[in-house]
Structure formats: structure tokens, C-alpha cells
Homo-oligomer: A and B are copies of this chain.
Amino acid sequence: MYLKNLGENAVKAKYEVALLDSETKNKVLKTVAEYIVNEASYIISENQKDIDEGIKNNMNKGLIDRLTLNESRIKAMSEGVLEVIDLEDPVNRVLDTFERPNGMKLTKVSVPMGVIGIIYESRPNVTLDAFALTFKAGNAVILKGGSDAINSNIAITNTIKKALKACNINENIIQLIEKTDRETTSEFMKMNEYVDVLIPRGGAGLIKAVVNNSTIPVIETGTGNCHVYVDKEADLNMAVEIIYNAKTQRISVCNACESIVVHEDVRKELLPMLAKRLSEKNVELRGDSKTKEVIDCIDATEEDFGKEYLDYILSIKTVNSVEEAVAHINKYNTGHSDCIVTANEETAKYFLKGVDSACVYWNVSTRFTDGFEFGFGAEIGISTQKLHARGPMGLKELNSYKYIIVGNGQVRG
């Protein structure tokens, strides 16, 4: 009954938000950004309850830090909302027009998804961020955050609702599921009647649970076992710098490099250079037998090649050809981001076509797979599936489309 009520509210709200023009939506976003700053002390005091609970439950320091809101973080969150104002409204783009021999005219036009469900983990800033993006794209949203951040999420949602009310906008455009038990979450994932698409944001476990249990269409995001392949015709200095960047610039993210593939012809020159550079960050190397002939490192197991370490660890595989490299990468990657370093265009083209990933790079670090780095101005997640959106998803990816057909009485013969 609780969820059914939320679902019905969301469906009513989706028709209203879909009809709002860009100016109105931007005014609302500005008001929300102001309210978030004005209500900072309320949000911080509610957030403190979550932190106290976390400390009581021996939550680790990193997680406590991710959970914590303070004046400057709230300011940054509010500025994030203001940035969404400047993004182009994705609704109502004409994607195609054509006319048929019977005279009927067809227009394919972008429309909001409708009701978007988002299931996420402990970072409470996602509450505001997800609202701003789904709203600008013309959708109603139902949020299900983690129990760790429940008080913070309620406070942020209440603040957004206050701002909506001040703008005379249906407050149910955003709804938070306040029950954090498993049964409620499980039931939420089967609300096909009310929710058009479900986006999980979080670790591999959360995403897998949503994919396995949801009957609502899901956009799978996240896990990245990204590779850099160093070809026999690579600029080795460039290869070292790309690997160093992709591995160490930020280890905890999905577009970080976890494994490299090295052509045997360059292993003797490349691997010592690379080992030296990566030792600056104490990266642990795990290599196959031909790697170990050149540098000192731990044995790489089958399991290593399939692993997203999210740590200062790198696995190394040697190959005889670009074909072998592509086959290895397609076997172990997660369809996220993979790179070739080479000076040979033909080799690069083979790799870019053959590797089955959302983003394939030639002489560029995999760390650029990101909505902001791609220039989308926003990112709701990085899709690793092939249905609907692939790679970084911005506002456009939070839209569907419809066909509008105009005629003068055409009937089918």
C-alpha cells in the first residue's frame, strides 16, 4: 500500500513535469539550489544522526567520510544544481522527420522517460544530484537510498519538496522511499505499472541485485575491468604515461585501468620502464610467465585477469598479436573502457572495431569515460549494457522518444 501510493503519486506527477517548459524547470532548479543552502543547518543536523549511527555501528572511516555533509559540501551540491540550469533541455528534440507516400508526416521527438527509479548507496549527495538531472529531463523520480543515510536523505528530500511547493509545483515529482528494509526494496523493483526505468548507482553487489531482481527495465551501470593494450608499434613513453594515469590517478573508479596487455615484441623494453614508473605509487604487478621473464612480479592467475581491483594492483598479459589482444580483452573485460596504444592506424582500427566495449580509446587514457569529460555537463551513470544507452549517460539518455503522425484522414487499405 505504501509503495502503491508512491507509485500513483509519481504517475500523476510525471504528466505534470513532462509539460513544464525549460524556463519553469530552470526557475525551480534555482529555487532548489537556494533552499539547499538556506536549510544547510537542518540538513547537517539530520546528517549528524546518520554519522552517529555509523560510528556506533563501527562504519569504516572512508564510508563515514562519504556520508558526511558540511557547509562546504552542501554549497558544492547546491552549485551542482545551478550547473544543471545551463544544460540544454533534452525534451522535445526533433530526432527525425519523414513523410510517407500516403501523405502522412512523421516526427520522431524526444520525450521524458516518465517515472525513473534510482536505487543507490550511502552518499546522500546523490539525492539532490539525481533529482536535478531527472527533473531537468522532464521526469518524476522515486529514490531509494541506503539505510545508512536515511536521515540525510529525508532532510534533503524535504528541502527539495519545500522549494517545489514555493514554486507551486507538484511535490511528488520527487519521492523518497523511507522504508529501508529488503522487502520494500524488492517490491519496489517490481513496480512495472508505475516505474518506467530503474537505475542502480553503487557497488557491484547492489547492481547485480537490481539486475537479478527487477522486472522493471534496468540500466546496468558501473563495474569496469578496463584494459590498456600496448602494441608492438606503440610509442612506449606514451604507453607508460597512459597506463600510469589510467591506473593511479584515481584507483577507486570504474574507468581506472585494472589490466594491461603487452605485445611480446616490446615487453623487454616496456616492462622495466613501466615497473619503474608505477613503483612511484607502489603498484603491485601480477604478470604471466613471459612478463616474469622480464620483470620481478607476482604470478597472475586466471582470476586476476577478470578482476576489478579498485586498488594499486595491475595484472599483465603478454600476447603475440592484436588479434590475441582483442580476444583476451573481450573475454575478461566488463564492456566499459579499453585502450590501444599504437602508431599503426590499421592495427588501431582493428582494435577499435573488435573490442566490445562502450568506450574504445586509441592513445588516450581510459580515465576520460565520464559525462563531464565527454562534455555532457552531467552524468547519471556509465552504462555497461547495450540496450538504450551505452557509456556515460547525460540528460539526453534520461529521455525516450515518441512518433507524432499527422495526416488528413489516412486509413489503411
CB within 8 Å of B: which A240-254 residues: 241-242, 244-246, 249
Q: A196 to B388: give the CA distance in the assembly, Å.
A: 12
> Which of A164-172, A261-269, A350-358 lies at the binding interface?
A350-358
A235 contacts chain B at the CB level, 8 A cutoff:
yes
A1 CB-CB contact with B under 8 Å: no
Oligomeric state, in copies: 2
Minimum Cβ distance to chain B for residue A319 (Å)? 16
* Complex interface: stretch among A43-51, A72-80, A275-283, A362-370: A362-370
B215 close to A412 (CB less than 8 A): no
Task: Flag if B98 contacts A406 (CB, 8 Å).
Answer: no
Closest Cβ neighbor of A374 among chain B residues: B106
Tell whether, in the assembled complex, residue B364 and residue A409 are in contact, meaning their CB atoms are under 8 Å apart.
yes
Is B245 a contact partner of A412 (Cβ separation < 8 A)? Answer: yes
Given contacts A364-B405, A390-B401, contact A354 B15 (CB under 8 A): yes
Contact indicator B386/A387 (Cβ below 8 Å): no
Query: A376: shortest Cβ distance to chain B, in Å?
Result: 10
Q: Are B353 and A19 in touch, CB under 8 angstroms?
A: yes
Interface presence of A238 (CB below 8 A): yes
Chain B residues in 8 Å Cβ range of A404: 352, 360, 362
Pick the contact of A354: B19, B357, B405 (CB < 8 A).
B19
- Does B238 contact A409, Cβ atoms closer than 8 Å? yes
B-contact bits for A142-186, CB 8 A (1 contact / 0 none) = 000000000000000000000000000000000000000000000
13 more CB-based (< 8 A) A-B contacts, given A14-B356, A362-B406, A363-B406:
A111-B356, A114-B386, A196-B386, A196-B387, A235-B409, A242-B411, A359-B402, A362-B404, A364-B406, A364-B407, A368-B405, A391-B402, A391-B403
The 4 closest A-B pairs by CB, nearest first: A245-B411, A386-B400, A364-B407, A367-B412
16 residue pairs A–B, Cβ–Cβ below 8 Å: A104-B364, A106-B374, A192-B211, A197-B386, A197-B387, A211-B215, A217-B220, A238-B409, A242-B409, A245-B411, A352-B404, A359-B402, A360-B403, A362-B405, A362-B406, A368-B412
| Residue ranges of A at the interface with B (Cβ–Cβ < 8 Å) | 14-15, 18-19, 98, 100, 104, 106, 111, 113-114, 192, 196-197, 211-212, 215, 217-220, 235, 238, 241-242, 244-246, 249, 330, 348, 352-354, 356-365, 367-368, 373-375, 385-388, 390-391, 400-412
